[in-house]
């Protein structure tokens, strides 16, 4: 994690547009001691970055701090150690799910194409004691399909529901936390209720895979998710995704790509000596899983999928290519659907908190012309997550990001609408696309937490 610079009075995040007061020690010396994500001590003298900011005690409760501390390699090592003791009551089946934006990181680091890198990573994880390794493309497909459906529903009720549009995407936990803790009811009713790919993957593993494929109780599965950013750790500990009866989370531990690679370096693993082991299938099919990506720049492609789907569903127009227009910069772009000089749809992709501030300012003024906004807290999108794109000096590695973008673009695009496994799961697991089961497992609610906070976060990004 990024190192923290503490001063006596005010600090400024890398993504800030305003300064914020931080909670300092009683002596006023600003000697707050924090630990980073892999257990190391945070030093002084560097810039305060978003990932560190979200994990400081100005924003997190004591209970949240405890839960975040469990999102670590040490916790995974503890689970692996218990498995080796052969105590059946404490034995857990370990499942690892890898985000598609993490695979290009390993491909670049390993110096090989993405499928082979995935196989090497799978081999390493299974060598540690992980039993199954999946990618999260199926979960992303579910999230995209549910997002598409919800957008159409919102669009059709826009004239009698002031909260219907614009609709904001819900896949970025940094954006969700900011919306709930700082923006409140201005934004939360507009957030798409479809769960993020991470949390749908949690349901796939803890509900479908463990019950129907493994005949196990969810508390007997330990689910690790490999992601490009630290904020995913915060998402995993949300109370919405915790089964109090079984004392089990949908995702037990999020590890960043950088943490996994750091462990490989620590153990001096030679990639050349690792076997090539194909990833597993949630459905238990035989054969190698074909690695795909969804449409879009370097994230899950919600904007492009919803735009094309809405153009066809609402206006009967087939859109094959999408042209982005830079509004302010590369991280604030617009997409427009026009017919006979009339603007039918206007979407935007807004990445990074400086651009998010611009969006929020316009929303307060009632000047948001968009029906859908794909919002991501990381400049450049998910592939630029600080859990894999940050240097030891706390800066983004632009050369690495460029290489990862090229690798990601090389993956074949696959449409969720024509994915047989998704249709099978809708039928066999969820009892239909609009069933109560589908609504319960694929959706959640986002609500203002401003009034319920005992201590409001002193931060504005």
Task: Provide the pLDDT for residue 452.
Answer: 46
Nearest to 225 by CA among 408, 115, 95: 95
Please list the alpha-helical segments (H only) found in 70-167: 73-84, 103-110, 114-128, 137-156
Q: What is the pLDDT of residue 301?
A: 84
- Contact criterion met (CB below 8 Å) for 294 and 141: yes
Write down the pTM of the prediction.
Answer: 0.83
Cβ-proximal residues to 312 (8 Å cutoff; 6+ apart), any chain: 318, 319
Helix (H) / strand (E) element for 376: namely strand 372-376
Q: What residue ranges define each of the domains in the chain, with the CATH number in brackets?
A: 62-138+197-290 (3.40.50.1780), 143-194+294-415 (3.40.950.10)
> Tokens 């890898």, residue?
98
- Give the pLDDT of the chain (461 residues) as one tens digit per residue: 333 333 332 334 444 444 344 433 333 333 223 333 333 333 333 333 444 444 333 456 667 677 777 788 999 999 999 998 877 788 899 999 999 999 999 999 999 999 999 999 999 999 999 999 999 999 999 999 999 999 999 999 999 998 999 999 999 988 998 888 888 889 999 999 999 999 999 999 999 998 888 888 898 999 999 999 888 988 888 888 877 666 778 999 999 999 999 999 999 999 999 999 999 999 877 555 667 777 766 677 899 999 999 999 999 999 988 888 987 788 899 999 999 989 999 999 999 888 998 999 998 988 889 999 999 988 888 888 888 988 777 788 899 999 998 888 888 888 888 888 999 999 999 999 999 999 999 999 888 887 544 333 333 32
| pLDDT of amino acid 386 | 87
pLDDT at 270: 92
Cβ–Cβ < 8 Å for 108, 403: yes
- Residue with tokens 């772009």, as numbered in its chain: 333
Q: Give the DSSP H/E element, type plus range, for residue 10.
A: strand 10-11
Q: How far apart are CA 268 and CA 262, in angstroms?
A: 10
Q: What is the 3-state secondary structure (H, E, C) of 36-61?
A: CCCCCECCCCCCECHHHHCCCCCCCC
Could you tell me the two tokens for 209?
Answer: 């895979």
H/E stretch holding 338 reads: strand 332-339
Task: Name the DSSP class of 270.
Answer: -
For residue 321, give the 3-state DSSP assignment. Answer: coil
Residue pair 99/228 in contact by the 8 Å Cβ criterion: yes
Which are the contacts of 94, defined by CB distance < 8 A and separation ≥ 6?
A: 79, 80, 83, 129, 130, 131, 132, 221, 222, 224
**pLDDT at 122 (0 to 100):** 96
pLDDT number for residue 290: 67
């Amino acid at each position: 994690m990024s190192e923290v610079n503490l001063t006596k009075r005010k600090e400024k995040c890398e993504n800030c547009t305003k300064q914020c007061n931080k909670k300092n020690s009683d002596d006023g010396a600003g000697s707050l001691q924090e630990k980073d994500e892999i257990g190391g001590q945070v030093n002084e003298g560097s810039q305060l970055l978003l990932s560190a900011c979200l994990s400081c005690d100005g924003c997190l409760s004591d209970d949240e701090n405890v839960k975040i501390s469990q999102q670590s390699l040490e916790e995974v090592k503890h689970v692996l150690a218990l498995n080796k003791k052969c105590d059946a009551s404490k034995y857990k089946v370990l499942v690892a799910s890898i985000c598609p934006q993490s695979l290009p990181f390993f491909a670049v680091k390993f110096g090989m194409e993405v499928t082979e890198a995935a196989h090497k990573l799978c081999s390493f994880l299974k060598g540690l004691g992980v039993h199954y390794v999946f990618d999260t493309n199926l979960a992303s497909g579910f999230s995209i399909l549910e997002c598409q459906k919800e957008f159409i529903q919102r669009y059709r009720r826009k004239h009698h529901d002031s909260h219907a549009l614009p609709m904001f995407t819900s896949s970025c936990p940094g954006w969700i936390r900011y919306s709930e803790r700082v923006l409140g009811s201005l934004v939360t009713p507009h957030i798409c209720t479809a769960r993020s790919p991470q949390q749908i993957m949690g349901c796939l593993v803890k509900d479908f895979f463990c019950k129907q494929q493994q005949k196990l109780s969810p508390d007997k599965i330990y689910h690790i998710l490999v992601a490009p950013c630290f904020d995913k750790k915060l998402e995993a500990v949300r109370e919405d995704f915790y089964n109090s009866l079984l004392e089990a989370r949908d995702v037990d531990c999020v590890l960043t790509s950088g943490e996994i690679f750091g462990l490989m370096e620590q153990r001096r693993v030679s990639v050349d000596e690792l076997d090539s082991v194909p990833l597993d299938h949630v459905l238990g099919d035989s054969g190698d899983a074909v690695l795909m990506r969804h449409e879009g720049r370097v994230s899950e492609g919600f904007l492009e999928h919803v735009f094309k789907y809405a153009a066809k569903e609402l206006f009967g127009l087939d859109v094959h290519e999408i042209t982005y227009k830079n509004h302010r910069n590369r991280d604030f772009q617009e997409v427009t659907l026009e017919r006979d000089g009339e603007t039918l749809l206007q979407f935007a992709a807004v990445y990074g908190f400086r651009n998010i501030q611009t969006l929020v300012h316009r929303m307060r003024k009632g000047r948001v012309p968009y029906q859908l906004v794909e919002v991501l807290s990381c400049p450049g999108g998910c592939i630029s997550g600080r859990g894999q794109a940050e240097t030891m000096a706390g800066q983004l590695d632009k050369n690495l990001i460029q290489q990862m973008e090229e690798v990601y673009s090389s993956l074949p695009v696959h449409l969720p609408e024509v994915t047989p496994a998704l249709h099978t799961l809708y039928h066999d697991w969820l009892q239909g696309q609009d069933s109560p089961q589908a609504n319960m497992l694929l959706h959640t609610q986002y609500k203002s937490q401003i009034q319920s906070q005992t201590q409001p976060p002193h931060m504005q990004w």
